[in-house]
Amino acid sequence: MVSLEKAVIARYSLAGHKFEILVDPNLATDVKSGKDIPINDLMAIDRVFKDANKGEEQSPETIKSTFKTEDLGEISKIIITKGEVQLTTDQRRALKEKKTQEIIAYFARHSMNPQTKAPNPPQRIENAMAEARITVDIFKPVQEQIPLILKEIKKIIPISIENLEVAIMLPAAYAGKGQSFLHRYVIKKHEWQPDGSFIAVVEIPAGLKNDIIGEMNKFTQGTANIRFIEK
């Protein structure tokens, strides 16, 4: 539970009534982004106010008649998602930086340069976003912002969101542990060979192309056979 000193006000007005709760600013942003946050972590105090600064609580009758429920978890979610979260300038700046890094990380993992088939480094993506003057919404989920951002940074750098298929052959000495490792990806096909080796076709985000090559070569001491399949 967030302390009162660090909590901010989430405010919502409906049918002429005001509803305010004291919440963790970071977790409130997560709620606005669609995440399910436990009420005990989210709220500083289990009360709904009509004026939090004055400590004036909203009446239970008004809360129930307005929200059609007495469930504080549901009520707090409505107040946060439909209302306004009062953030300081520093809080907004920190949350914007966090969301920006999440977006950059998404592109670094899922995108590639369609001309060279190589992943796009995070710094290149960050530079392209800056040049395109991208405005990041701190309350909108990353996935919802990707299409518009992708459209804009395509004007700056060659980039596409793609998955790659890679065929991997693991020698018998590494097949047991190696096939378990590959289950972190989407395995399209797999089969065991008579000599004990393991062959799989896996689908990976384009940005992990170099990662999987490095991981497989390190794990098998360079004995894995890795081939990317052209679509």
User: Is the predicted pLDDT of residue 231 greater than 80, yes or no?
Assistant: no
Percent over 70 (pLDDT), the chain: 100
Residue 70: what pLDDT?
Answer: 93
Whole-Å CA distances, 209 to 4, 86, 113, 213: 46, 42, 12, 7
Q: DSSP readout, the chain?
A: ---TTT-EEEEEEETTEEEEEEE-HHHHHHHHTT----HHHHBSSS--EEETTTTEEPPHHHHHHHHS---HHHHHHHHHHHSEE---HHHHHHHHHHHHHHHHHHHHHHEEETTTTEEPPHHHHHHHHHHTT----TTS-HHHHHHHHHHHHTTTS--EE-EEEEEEEE-HHHHHHHHHHHTTSEEEEEEE-TTS-EEEEEEEEGGGHHHHHHHHHHHTTT--EEEEEP-
Residue 184: what pLDDT?
Answer: 87
Beta bridge partners of 150: none
Side chain identity, residue 204: I
φ and ψ of 123, to 5 deg: -65, -35
Average pLDDT, the chain: 93
Residue 32: what pLDDT?
Answer: 87
Please write the tens of the pLDDT for every residue from 33-70: 888 999 999 999 999 999 999 999 999 999 999 999 99
With CA atoms as reference, report the closest residue to 33 among 144, 162, 115. 144
Whether the pTM exceeds 0.85: the reply is: no
Residue 178: what pLDDT?
Answer: 83
Q: How confident is the model at residue 177 (pLDDT cuts 50, 70, 90)?
A: confident
Please write the tens of the pLDDT for every residue from 92-143: 899 899 999 999 999 999 999 999 989 999 999 999 999 999 999 998 889 9
CA angle 141, 146, 151 (to 5 degrees): 150
Antiparallel, parallel or unpaired: β 198-205 and 186-192: antiparallel
Separation of first and last alpha carbons in the chain: 50
Choice between 156 and 5, residue whose per-residue pLDDT is larger: 156
Six-digit token pair at 21?
A: 């709760």
Sheet holding 160-161, edge to edge: 118-119, 111-113, 160-161
Please write the tens of the pLDDT for every residue from 203-219: 999 999 999 999 999 98
User: Is the predicted pLDDT of residue 83 greater than 90, yes or no?
Assistant: yes
- Note whether 229 and 201 are within 8 A (CB): yes
Q: How confident is the model at residue 1 (pLDDT cuts 50, 70, 90)?
A: confident
With CA atoms as reference, report the closest residue to 44 among 83, 91, 3. 3
